[in-house]
Amino acid sequence: MVRVLYKVLLIPAQDYTRHPHLTRHHHIFENFDDQFKLAILNVRLRIGPKSVGSRNEIIEVGVPTRNVLHSYIWGYFSFHFKLASLLKSGKYDCVVLSNVISPLVPLLAHGRPIVFDYKDVYSLSASAPFRAPIRQLVYLVARFFEHLLFSFRMTVVVPSPSMQLLVRDRFNVDSLLIPNGVNTELFHPISSNTRDMVRTEIGVRQGEFCLCYLGSIENWLDLESVIHALVSLKSLRLVMIGGPPRSARYLHDMLALCDREGVRERVTLTGFRNQAEAARILAACDAAIIPFSLRHELSAVALPDKAFEYLASGLPVISTRLPDVERLFGKLIYFYDDHDELCSILRGLINHPSKRNLREQLSQAKKYDWKAIAKTYQELISGLVTSDETSKINRH
């Protein structure tokens, strides 16, 4: 039996057990080995049953409501009370924080090593779903909390090179890069027979070229260009695996645009699916797209895990010109700047199957398997805890 050596408290950014799809923290911390004992202090933000399980201890606080902002407000005080109690018990060697709900966490940690997993620019992502003036208020509060947190001594981890530059320039802090990744046991090419069966299941017609989008449908996407491509290319079908995790306003607007343009029947919405089902549908498509709006600030630092999942599935990948995606996978991905370029790429793929290097594509994706990334994270935490214990011994 492996002896537990490291006890870790994780404070995730999202509702860990009820978020409609798996997040970075699920993929990393559910892959930790038995030398680590994890507890997850989860602020309940969503009504309804758990959507994902966990092999780790889940400690839930808060009162979920239909409004995520209200849930955060109601959960704020119970979160601090429970956190203070847990840290006072002395059971944890390290705290992994990925939430700006409390800039007091470093004070309550009582000198333990803290890893701040800054997986997103929270002031931008937290405020994005709201309309003015609530958006400005949420942005300012989150930005204030970010500045407070970065003023403490912590080990900061980010998922993209551009995020490294952002935290250095905005907060004068150096950070470690541990990127997002892919579960290569689920995301991989499938046989032609399986592909045909899946396409029949989701209602794809004979001769249609399926363009897939996998992930949350939020207002930082540019689905307008994709819809106009549907208008121009009559054999094109858009398959969207996912949905709006919060406000459905943007999705409704896009479906209304589809109705006006007469292409709604060539848009397939599967809703959120578990990873195995999503991977199967994705692999049955002909190409996949990352249609992030370059007008949105989040695009400047985005290195989404869907990029890794698309590549691992063996599909041609099309993307707006996200700096980190281009830097990492420039030769493997088709980039477009506007509707005309997108149509040109799609027309070329429809008429002439891609001649890209599939072996290189799959090889690159495999480097970012979540299990390898989890191992890197384990090494970081064990190194911090060991260093902290050595420091304490030397001081005494």
Q: Output the pLDDT for position 3.
A: 64
Q: Which residues pair with 39 in a beta bridge?
A: 9, 57
* Whether residues 135 and 61 fall in one domain: yes
Residue 1 is assigned to a structural domain of this protein? no
Helix (H) or strand (E) holding 162: helix 161-171
The count of structural domains within the chain is: 2
First vs last C-alpha separation in the chain: 33
* Whether residues 328 and 380 fall in one domain: no
* Whether residues 272 and 155 fall in one domain: no
Q: Output the pLDDT for position 389.
A: 60
Q: In angstroms, rounded to a whole number, what is the distance separating the alpha carbons of residues 304 and 180?
A: 7
Confidence of residue 172 (pLDDT cuts 50, 70, 90): very high
* Whether residues 72 and 31 fall in one domain: yes
Q: In angstroms, rounded to a whole number, what is the distance separating the alpha carbons of residues 370 and 336?
A: 28
> Is the four-CA dihedral 344, 346, 352, 358 of positive or negative sign?
positive
* Whether residues 154 and 203 fall in one domain: no
pLDDT, tens digit, 9 for 90 and up, residues 66-85: 776 677 777 778 888 888 88
* Whether residues 352 and 375 fall in one domain: no
Residue ranges making up the domain that contains 99: 6-181+369-391
* Whether residues 257 and 150 fall in one domain: no
Residue 396 is assigned to a structural domain of this protein? no
- Site of tokens 């018990």: 89
pLDDT, tens digit, 9 for 90 and up, residues 120-155: 888 888 777 677 888 888 889 889 889 988 998 899
* Whether residues 294 and 376 fall in one domain: no
CATH of the domain at 144: 3.40.50.2000
Contact 6, 33 (CB under 8 A): no
In this predicted structure, the answer to whether residue 178 has a pLDDT above a threshold of 80 is yes
* Whether residues 257 and 384 fall in one domain: no
pLDDT, tens digit, 9 for 90 and up, residues 205-260: 999 999 999 999 988 899 999 999 999 999 999 999 998 877 788 999 999 999 99
> Is the four-CA dihedral 120, 29, 308, 283 of positive or negative sign?
negative
The amino acid sitting at 385 is V
